[in-house]
């Protein structure tokens, strides 16, 4: 029997996933350092499955060009805002993603940003580089995590991992918001509150929600106006959940103390963006899941999603 034909969208896909796919399928890897949509559309006809190593947009146009053979789409990401799920499912195509295996790594990045922003690490470094750093009793004072209230917007797998790690920092209260109260919240001793309540009571606000129609632009001027002046804001979910101009105003006008972002809108942030000039702004270039083990685990799950789908079994993480 001939092997299933699978297209992988990037040459630098982690080897664990590629090896697994190659053990069962006839794999074609899209060549080039940064394949464009045009490259993808040109290559895509005739495959049984597509392995998305990057956030390529999958919409009706791409599916039309891919053709009737396409049975499985697997994205090597937890986020799936680049996939038109309704259109994919309408065509009877199976679709999967890779949550959970990245939760610990993303939680670590959230803590890194929270600590850096709370303790003014970037500002301290800037002063050091400018030769202006003097040890004074009241200089570069930050915010304590010990005894604080931490608010998580979106208590999914990543949010829960963040809470578990912050317990050891002696946080006093954990609160969270989302669609409904969750058992994991009860298990972690976190209280379910409304978004408004969370914004008003939290010393640290961590956004760990996916990008949906509901969360798009959720953090606007009104949201930042409700936060404490001492609040530290962290986003490791998706950039467009936060209105970038509103965040800029919040930091410049000192409506909040500091922010730390792993995701931003647009991404990457242009190198001359005003946010990058602010001392109370920490940013990383979307590194949440970027560890050797995590990326290999994600690639393995994405490959297994394809193999399961082609074998007629349930995907590991279906959408
Ligand atoms: C995800 O998996 O969605 C992360 O943001 C990395 O792309």
Q: How far is the CA of 266 from the centre of ligand 1 (A)?
A: 15
Q: How far is the CA of 152 from the centre of ligand 1 (A)?
A: 18
Q: Omega before 303 cis (within 30°)?
A: no
Q: Is the pLDDT confidence value at 286 over 90? A: yes
CA 79 to ligand 1: nearest atom: 3
Calpha distance 159→210 (Å, rounded): 11
CA 98 to ligand 1: nearest atom: 2
How does the average pLDDT of the chain come out, rounded? 97
Q: How far is the CA of 132 from the centre of ligand 1 (A)?
A: 38
* Residue-wise burial string across 214-234, b where 16 or more C-beta atoms lie within 10 A, e elsewhere: ebebbbeeebbebbbebbbbb
Q: What was the pLDDT predicted at 134?
A: 83
Q: How far is the CA of 225 from the centre of ligand 1 (A)?
A: 29
Question: With contact defined as beta carbons under 8 Å apart, do 295 and 10 qualify?
Answer: no
Q: Is the CB of 289 under 6 A from ligand 1?
A: yes
Q: Is the pLDDT confidence value at 1 over 70? A: no
Residue at token pair 């632009």: 217
| First vs last C-alpha separation in the chain | 29
Q: What confidence tier does 154 reach under pLDDT thresholds 50, 70, 90?
A: very high
Calpha distance 34→12 (Å, rounded): 10
CA 80 to ligand 1: nearest atom: 3
Which amino acids are annotated catalytic?
A: 286
Q: What was the pLDDT predicted at 15?
A: 96
Single pTM value for the model: 0.95
Q: How far is the CA of 206 from the centre of ligand 1 (A)?
A: 16
Q: Which of 77, 81, 158 to probe ligand 1 with, by most ligand atoms within 8 A of CB?
A: 77
* Residues 293-312 pLDDT 10s: 999 999 999 999 999 999 99
Which residue has the CA at smallest separation from atom 2 of ligand 1? Answer: 77
Long-range contacts of 31-39 (CB under 8 A, 24+ apart): 35/9, 35/10
What does the angle CA 9 – CA 298 – CA 78 come to, to the nearest 5 degrees? 85
Calpha distance 92→83 (Å, rounded): 14
Q: Is the CB of 288 under 6 A from ligand 1?
A: yes
Distances in Å between the Cα of 193 and the Cα atoms of 129, 178, 233 are 42, 8, 18
Structural domains in the chain, CATH included, are: 4-99+292-310 (3.40.50.720), 103-283 (3.40.50.720)
Q: Is the CB of 78 under 6 A from ligand 1?
A: yes
Q: Read off the pLDDT of each residue in 271-300 and give the average, rounded to a whole number.
A: 98
Q: What was the pLDDT predicted at 2?
A: 72
- The DSSP string of the chain is -PPEEEEES-TT--HHHHHHHHHHEEEEE--SSS--HHHHHHH-TT-SEEEESS---B-HHHHHHH-TT--EEEESSS--TTB-HHHHHHTT-EEE---STTHHHHHHHHHHHHHHHHTTHHHHHHHHHTT-----TTSS-----TT-EEEEES-SHHHHHHHHHHGGGT-SEEEEESSS--HHHHHHTPEE--HHHHHHH-SEEEE-PPP-TTTTT-B-HHHHHHS-TT-EEEE-S-GGGB-HHHHHHHHHTTSSSEEEES--SSSSPPTT-GGGG-TTEEE-SS-TT-SHHHHHHHHHHHHHHHHHHHTTSPPSSB-
* Residues 2-30 pLDDT 10s: 799 999 999 999 999 999 999 999 999 99
Q: What was the pLDDT predicted at 275?
A: 98
Q: Is the CB of 102 under 6 A from ligand 1?
A: yes
CA 77 to ligand 1: nearest atom: 2
Question: With contact defined as beta carbons under 8 Å apart, do 143 and 203 qualify?
Answer: yes
* Residues 164-188 pLDDT 10s: 999 999 999 999 999 999 999 999 9
Which residue has the CA at smallest separation from atom 4 of ligand 1? Answer: 77
Q: Return the minimum-mean-pLDDT range out of 87-91, 134-138, 270-274.
A: 134-138
Q: What was the pLDDT predicted at 166?
A: 98
């Amino acid at each position: 029997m001939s092997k299933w034909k699978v297209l992988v969208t990037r040459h630098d896909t982690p080897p664990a996933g590629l090896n697994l796919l190659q053990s069962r399928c006839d794999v074609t890897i899209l060549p080039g350092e940064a394949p464009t949509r045009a490259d993808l559309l040109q290559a895509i006809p005739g495959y049984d499955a597509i392995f998305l190593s990057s956030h390529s947009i999958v919409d009706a146009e791409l599916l039309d060009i891919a053709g009737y053979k396409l049975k499985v789409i697997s994205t090597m990401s937890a986020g799936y805002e680049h996939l038109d799920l309704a259109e994919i499912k309408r065509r009877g195509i199976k679709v999967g993603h890779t949550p959970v295996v990245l939760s610990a790594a993303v939680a670590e990045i959230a803590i890194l940003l929270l600590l850096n922003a709370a303790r003014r690490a970037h500002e301290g470094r800037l002063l050091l580089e400018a030769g202006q750093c003097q040890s004074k009793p009241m200089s570069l004072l930050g915010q304590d995590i010990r005894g604080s209230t931490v608010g998580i917007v979106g208590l999914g797998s990543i949010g829960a991992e963040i809470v578990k790690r912050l317990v050891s920092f002696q946080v006093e209260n954990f609160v969270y918001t989302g669609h409904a109260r969750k058992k994991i919240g009860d298990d972690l001793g976190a209280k379910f509150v409304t978004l408004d309540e969370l914004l008003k009571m939290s010393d640290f606000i961590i956004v760990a929600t996916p990008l949906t129609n509901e969360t798009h632009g959720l953090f606007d001027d009104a949201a930042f106006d409700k936060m404490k002046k001492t609040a530290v804001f962290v986003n490791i979910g998706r950039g467009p959940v936060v209105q970038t101009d509103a965040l800029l105003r919040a930091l410049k006008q000192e409506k909040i103390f500091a922010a730390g972002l792993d995701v931003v809108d647009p991404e990457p942030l242009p190198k001359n963006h005003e946010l990058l000039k602010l001392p109370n702004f920490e940013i990383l270039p979307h590194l949440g899941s970027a560890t050797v083990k995590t990326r290999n685990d994600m690639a393995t799950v994405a490959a297994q999603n394809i193999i399961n789908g082609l074998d007629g079994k349930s995907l590991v993480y279906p959408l």
